[in-house]
Amino acid sequence: MEQYQRVCQLAKELLPEAVAFTQRLVRCPSAPGEEKNAADMFIAEMEKIGYDEVFRDDWGNVIGVINGQEPGPTILCNAHMDHVPVGDLSLWDGYDPFGGLVDVVEMDDRYAAKKEMAEVIHGRGTADVKGGMACHIYGGKLLLQLRKEGVKLKGKYIITAVCMEEFGDQVGTIQLIDDTFKKLGWSYDGVISSEASSLGFNLGHRGRVELLVSVHGKIGHASAPWTGINAVCKATKLIDIVTNELPKQFPPEEPDLGPSTICLTVINAIPGELCVVPERCDITFDRRFGPEETPEGCMQEIQEIIDKLSQEDPEFRAEVKISEVVREFYTGKSVTIANKKLSWKLSPEHPFVQAMADGLKAVGQEIQYRHWFGGTDLSKVVADDHKPALGYGAGQEQYTHVPFEVLRTDFMEKVIAGYAAGFLKLMELPKEAFRVD
């Protein structure tokens, strides 16, 4: 049987196992920092399948390796083990968010152009992204079967299931690459993320920085507000300018990635007590930006507003900084990290993308190029490490981070085949094909 026909046949045969594994993962809650039980399941599944190496690093990330018989590129299959909160249970249409139920419902097609009936798995983390990682793992099982049947694999196919992606600061992937890989003496050539992409190739997204502004006042008794300086009232001036005036200065919209934006996400009055004039107001802004902008430049925009308000009002005092936070992993290790990531975009003409496209075409799949609205850990790969990466996953972005999260099983079959077929094409690329300028 022709090799890629065999890939499609094996993907169909492996689908029930991948679906059952996804169901078990969904039934195992794994909030950020609480991924241990899910990590144990990932390790056990890859050991059962017969991966050449399976281990957990000091940060709790899980790594599974399939070695080729000949030299070639190292391809990371990256996704995360954590998930966002469930939210309001009444919005789940009667489904248990940790039930992993399989049934048939009306769903968007891959282009979100029409509705159609499809079999899905229900539950938090199905689309984002436990189902995607299950497909990556079973794509590996497919490759192991091909190797058993005499196909010569080149390079390495490495599963990297990381912790705490949902915080948005890439901490799990950063520690994996900059600490674990460095200690092991490992390098890598490219990354395929199983984040939701509706079977398309996602080739970039805007950068993100979390900006923390602290506006200062003076504490006083609320019965005599003139004895204090209300930091919240002072902050309203800044909020108004940042929300309504600052966006007018942003660069023109990037055609593929979308507009630069800023959004107030968190506001806290300190001390936040009854009968007390607040002496400080902390405001967090989520700033999304394009390739021409930087986190530091975004911070400077806010600083200029602070400087202007300070000149106009002698009582106005504030400072801005890029938010930093201590992230503690379930293994007990911790690290302080700045909440920022750069914008990135990869050309559809890049050899890495074209090789993956050739693999998908070989198994009868249509290629669609897209870009994410949200952010992923691929900023670390492309913008920081200058390695090629793309997102190709079974999930649909509109079903992530919402109640009624679902994953189509027919899409799972396609990506299992796509991961294996793509690797068969990527393993033939020369080393120079993995450069990103």
In a domain, 336, yes or no: no
Residues 71, 126 within the same domain: yes
Residues 155, 22 within the same domain: yes
Residues 374, 253 within the same domain: no
Residue 58 CB-half CA count within 13 A: 13
Give tens-digit pLDDT for 365-402: 999 999 999 999 999 999 999 999 999 999 999 999 99
Concatenated DSSP letters for 112-129?
A: SSSEEEEEEEESTTIIII
- Using pLDDT thresholds of 50, 70 and 90, give the confidence band for residue 437: confident
Q: What is the CATH number of the domain that holds 191?
A: 3.40.630.10
In a domain, 332, yes or no: no
Contacts of 234 (CB under 8 A, 6+ apart): 215, 216, 217, 281, 313, 315, 316, 318
Q: Are the CB atoms for 352 and 434 separated by under 8 Å?
A: yes
Domain that holds residue 252: 207-326
Residues 235, 310 within the same domain: yes
Which amino acid, 85?
A: P
Q: What are the angstrom distances between the C-alpha of 232 and each of 229, 273, 297, 299, 300?
A: 9, 13, 26, 21, 22
**Percentage with pLDDT > 70 across the chain:** 100
For residue 60, the cross-strand partners are: none
Give the β-pairing of 344-345 and 317-322: unpaired
In a domain, 189, yes or no: yes
In a domain, 338, yes or no: no
Q: Are the CB atoms for 138 and 16 separated by under 8 Å?
A: no
In a domain, 331, yes or no: no
Residues 238, 118 within the same domain: no
In a domain, 40, yes or no: yes
Residues 287, 186 within the same domain: no
pLDDT at 7 over 60: yes
The neighbour count for residue 30, using CB atoms within 10 Å, is 23
- Using pLDDT thresholds of 50, 70 and 90, give the confidence band for residue 1: low
Give tens-digit pLDDT for 231-259: 999 999 999 999 999 999 999 999 999 99
Give tens-digit pLDDT for 163-202: 999 999 999 999 999 999 999 999 999 999 999 999 999 9
Give tens-digit pLDDT for 41-74: 999 999 999 999 999 999 999 999 999 999 999 9
Residues 294, 393 within the same domain: no
In a domain, 334, yes or no: no
pTM: 0.94
Residues 99, 148 within the same domain: yes
Please state, in angstroms and rounded to a whole number, the distance separating the CA atoms of residues 377 and 4: 30
Helix, strand, coil % in the chain, rounded to nearest 5: 40, 25, 35
Residues 374, 429 within the same domain: yes
Q: What are the angstrom distances between the C-alpha of 3 and each of 149, 323, 413, 421?
A: 11, 50, 17, 9
- Using pLDDT thresholds of 50, 70 and 90, give the confidence band for residue 284: very high
Residues 89, 101 within the same domain: yes
Give tens-digit pLDDT for 331-343: 999 999 999 999 9
Contacts of 303 (CB under 8 A, 6+ apart): 320
The neighbour count for residue 437, using CB atoms within 10 Å, is 3
* Residue where a domain stops, chosen among 326, 356, 389: 326
Residues 310, 368 within the same domain: no
- Using pLDDT thresholds of 50, 70 and 90, give the confidence band for residue 38: very high
Residues 50, 156 within the same domain: yes
Domain count within the chain: 2
Q: What is the CATH number of the domain that holds 319?
A: 3.30.70.360
Give the mean model confidence (pLDDT) for residues 262-266.
Answer: 98
Please state, in angstroms and rounded to a whole number, the distance separating the CA atoms of residues 396 and 108: 9
In a domain, 333, yes or no: no
* Residue where a domain stops, chosen among 326, 360, 385: 326
Please state, in angstroms and rounded to a whole number, the distance separating the CA atoms of residues 304 and 316: 13
Please classify residue 211 by burial: count the beta carbons closer than 10 Å to its beta carbon, then call 0-12 exposed, 13-18 middle and 19+ buried.
Answer: buried
Eight-state DSSP code of residue 254: B
Average pLDDT, the chain: 97
* Residue where a domain stops, chosen among 264, 294, 326: 326
